[in-house]
Amino acid sequence: MTTVVENDNPMAIAQQQFDIAADLLDLSENLRGILRVPQRELSVTFPVKMDNGETIVFEGFRVQHNLSRGPTKGGIRYHPSLTLDDTRALAMWMTWKCAVANLPYGGAKGGVVVDPKLLSLSEIERLTRRYATEMSIVIGPERDIPAPDVGTNPQIMAWIMDTISMHQGYTVPAIVTGKPLNIGGSHGRHEATARGLVYLLSEAARHLDLNLSRLRVAVQGFGNVGFTCARLLESLGATVIAVSDSKGGLLNMAGLEIDHVMAHKQASGQVAGYREADEITNADLLGLDVDVLIPAALSGAITASNAHQVRARVVAEGANGPTTPAADEILYDKGVFVLPNILANAGGVTVSYFEWVQGLQEFFWTEREVNAQLERVIVNAFHNVLTAAQHHRVHMRTAAYTLAIQRVAEAVTTRGIYP
Ligand code: NAD
């Protein structure tokens, strides 16, 4: 039986979560041995010429966790404290996320240890093109398809696509997703993670007998996922009383005007300082009396030391790995309904899958078609996980893991062990 101990290493957390579900499934030692660790890892160091003529050597990674259900899929993160262990955990979560949404992918993740805010645009372009070249031996439309994550964006995906296309001598649109629309991106991709989370919240609200338009919401992280969730929920009538970014948070009990907060952030670089709200810390935000708390920043936000402060009825994990397993136990004891990351933020990879399909077929969908297909996938995934939760009498995270692990384990078993 797995004992839950507090650990802030994301790979240790990912493996603890895996072990809990593997115990429940009575998974064989052979399958555990295969699924508990990444299948492939590429670690590189590479030089980049800076604008001042200096050369700096950067470290980068790509981890492919499991290839049994198809090519691997996962974002690229540019962050100064990224480690290989973070990348492993994120790749493993991608495997489960793709399996929960029933997409024909395994999981991967990559990144560079860099603070992109300290680089000029042309330095980021040179770093990206060199990183893409280093990764070119493991990525490809049939092999491993990157996408944006923290610190990267559609422009960076465009440079990766262009670099690989230059090497091939022809355009390879399906090499990355999250591209700009004018070079084969998909309608709805930019908002997809948040939109998926909102579809899920609306199913969860129905299940819990809550009224979506009366929900009071707090959002940690005001980037792509956090801001878009806040804006979509506001447009559905919910009251977003608090948001935060890395520099601090805001509280207005009557509700924040999300576009105004974003305009302030764009002008000043932070949400703090917005006049129509009181300033709060990130720690305060986690303890607010709200119906829904959406952690949408980085991993390790809700731990054993602050989980007892959470007063939300629902925690919907926009971020990857925001809650530690020890914190999970505290939340469950308090009766919090947790929508786990591998379900809650699967909207992004789902529309990435649609983008990849459109790129391979050279046939493009309208935004309405994308959103309708996204809703179908997310609503199905929610009900599949809920059924597993009721069947195994477990919470949604372990249920999502059991569903995902079972699907991947079946693929491994059906394919057999080569040779
Ligand atoms: P982003 O870089 O656009 O935004 C991140 C936000 O978090 C920023 O506002 C930043 O200031 C804030 N932040 C950073 N550290 C913080 C801290 N300690 N406290 C509070 N806020 C902090 O990134 P994003 O794309 O919105 O991703 C957010 C999370 O969602 C990440 O965990 C990412 O892996 C996950 N995710 C993103 C996508 C996607 O499609 N973008 C898909 C799945 C999962």
Q: Residue 348 CA: which ligand 1 atom is closest?
A: 40
Q: Are residues 329 and 199 in the same domain?
A: yes
What percent of the chain shows pLDDT beyond 90? 96
Q: Are residues 217 and 320 in the same domain?
A: yes
How remote is the CA of residue 74 from the centroid of ligand 1, in Å? Answer: 15
Q: Are residues 167 and 120 in the same domain?
A: yes
Name the residue with the closest Cα to ligand 1, atom 32.
Answer: 319
pLDDT given for residue 299 in this prediction? 86
Q: What is the mean pLDDT of the chain?
A: 96
How remote is the CA of residue 415 from the centroid of ligand 1, in Å? Answer: 36
SS3 308: helix
How remote is the CA of residue 341 from the centroid of ligand 1, in Å? Answer: 13
Residue 103's closest CA among 337, 336, 408? 408
Tokens of 365: 């969908």
How remote is the CA of residue 29 from the centroid of ligand 1, in Å? Answer: 35
Give the mean model confidence (pLDDT) for residues 181-203: 97
Classify the phi-psi angles of 248: left when phi > 0, otherwise alpha if psi is within -120 to 50, otherwise beta.
Answer: left
241 to 226, 255, 307, 312: CA distances (angstroms)? 13, 4, 20, 13
Question: What's the domain range around 271?
Answer: 192-339
Residue with tokens 């009825």: 313
Q: Are residues 224 and 314 in the same domain?
A: yes
Q: Residue 322 CA: which ligand 1 atom is closest?
A: 32
Can you tell me the distance from the alpha carbon of 38 to that of 389, in angstroms, rounded to the nearest whole number? 27
Q: What is the pLDDT of residues 224-258, one digit of tens each?
A: 999 999 999 999 999 999 999 999 999 999 999 99
To the nearest 10°, the Cα dihedral for 196, 297, 254, 338?
A: 60
Q: Which residue from 78, 224, 342 has its CB within 8 A of the most atoms of ligand 1, so it is best to mutate? A: 224
Decide: 401 and 23 in contact? Cβ < 8 Å: no
Q: Are residues 215 and 293 in the same domain?
A: yes
Residue 98's DSSP bridge partners are none
Give the mean model confidence (pLDDT) for residues 293-316: 96
Q: Are residues 169 and 204 in the same domain?
A: no
pLDDT bin (cut points 50, 70, 90) of residue 18 is very high
pLDDT bin (cut points 50, 70, 90) of residue 343 is very high
* pLDDT over threshold 70, residue 5: no
Whether 216 maps to a domain, the answer reads yes
Strands 72-79, 144-148: parallel, antiparallel or unpaired by DSSP? Answer: parallel
Q: Read off the CATH number of the domain in which 116 is found.
A: 3.40.50.10860
Whether 123 maps to a domain, the answer reads yes
E-strand stretches of 155-247: 216-220, 239-245
Can you tell me the distance from the alpha carbon of 105 to that of 40, in angstroms, rounded to the nearest whole number? 15
pLDDT bin (cut points 50, 70, 90) of residue 287 is very high
Whether 76 maps to a domain, the answer reads yes
- The Cβ of residue 55 has, within 10 Å, a number of other Cβ atoms equal to 8
Active site residues: 109
SS3 78: strand
Q: What one-character DSSP code corresponds to residue 323?
A: B
406 to 121, 131, 183: CA distances (angstroms)? 44, 34, 37
How remote is the CA of residue 122 from the centroid of ligand 1, in Å? Answer: 24
Which distant-in-sequence residues (6+ apart) come within 8 Å of 116 by Cβ? 78, 124, 151, 152
How remote is the CA of residue 276 from the centroid of ligand 1, in Å? Answer: 24
Q: What one-character DSSP code corresponds to residue 107?
A: E
pLDDT given for residue 218 in this prediction? 98
> Total structural domains in the chain?
2
* pLDDT over threshold 70, residue 161: yes
Buried b (16+ CB within 10 A) or exposed e, 298-323: bbbbbbbeebeebebbbbbbbbbbbb
Whether 280 maps to a domain, the answer reads yes
Last residue of a domain, one of 112, 145, 174: 174
Can you tell me the distance from the alpha carbon of 158 to that of 154, in angstroms, rounded to the nearest whole number? 6
How remote is the CA of residue 23 from the centroid of ligand 1, in Å? Answer: 31
* pTM for this model (two decimals): 0.95
Residue with tokens 């977003």: 240
Residue with tokens 């404290």: 81
Q: Are residues 276 and 197 in the same domain?
A: yes
Q: Which residue from 105, 246, 282, 302 has its CB within 8 A of the most atoms of ligand 1, so it is best to mutate? A: 246
Q: Are residues 50 and 159 in the same domain?
A: yes
Tokens of 217: 């919401």
For residue 209, the one-letter residue type is D
Q: Are residues 334 and 256 in the same domain?
A: yes
Tokens of 305: 């030391």
Q: Are residues 72 and 151 in the same domain?
A: yes
Q: Read off the CATH number of the domain in which 201 is found.
A: 3.40.50.720
Whether 43 maps to a domain, the answer reads yes
Give the mean model confidence (pLDDT) for residues 358-387: 97
User: What backbone torsions phi and psi does residue 297 show, to the nearest 5 degrees?
Assistant: -115, -110
* pLDDT over threshold 90, residue 187: yes
Decide: 212 and 201 in contact? Cβ < 8 Å: yes
Q: What is the pLDDT of residues 46-83, one digit of tens each?
A: 999 999 999 999 999 999 999 999 999 999 999 999 99
Give the mean model confidence (pLDDT) for residues 299-315: 96
Q: Are residues 198 and 148 in the same domain?
A: no
Can you tell me the distance from the alpha carbon of 141 to that of 174, in angstroms, rounded to the nearest whole number? 5
Tokens of 209: 């007998």
Name the residue with the closest Cα to ligand 1, atom 29.
Answer: 319
Ligand 1 residue neighbourhood (C-beta within 6 Å): 149-150, 193, 220-226, 244-246, 282, 296-298, 318-320, 345, 348
Query: Count H helices, E strands: the chain?
Result: 14, 12
Name the residue with the closest Cα to ligand 1, atom 4.
Answer: 223
Q: Which residue from 198, 225, 279, 299 has its CB within 8 A of the most atoms of ligand 1, so it is best to mutate? A: 225
Name the residue with the closest Cα to ligand 1, atom 5.
Answer: 223
Whether 281 maps to a domain, the answer reads yes
Q: Residue 298 CA: which ligand 1 atom is closest?
A: 32
Last residue of a domain, one of 106, 140, 174: 174
Last residue of a domain, one of 321, 339, 357: 339
Reply yes or no: is the peptide bond before residue 419 cis, omega within 30 of 0: yes
Q: Are residues 148 and 216 in the same domain?
A: no
Q: Which residue from 298, 306, 342, 355 has its CB within 8 A of the most atoms of ligand 1, so it is best to mutate? A: 298
Whether 323 maps to a domain, the answer reads yes
Give the helix, strand, coil percentages of the chain, each rounded to 5: 50, 15, 35
Whether 20 maps to a domain, the answer reads no
Cβ-in-10-Å burial (0-12, 13-18, 19+) of 5 comes to exposed
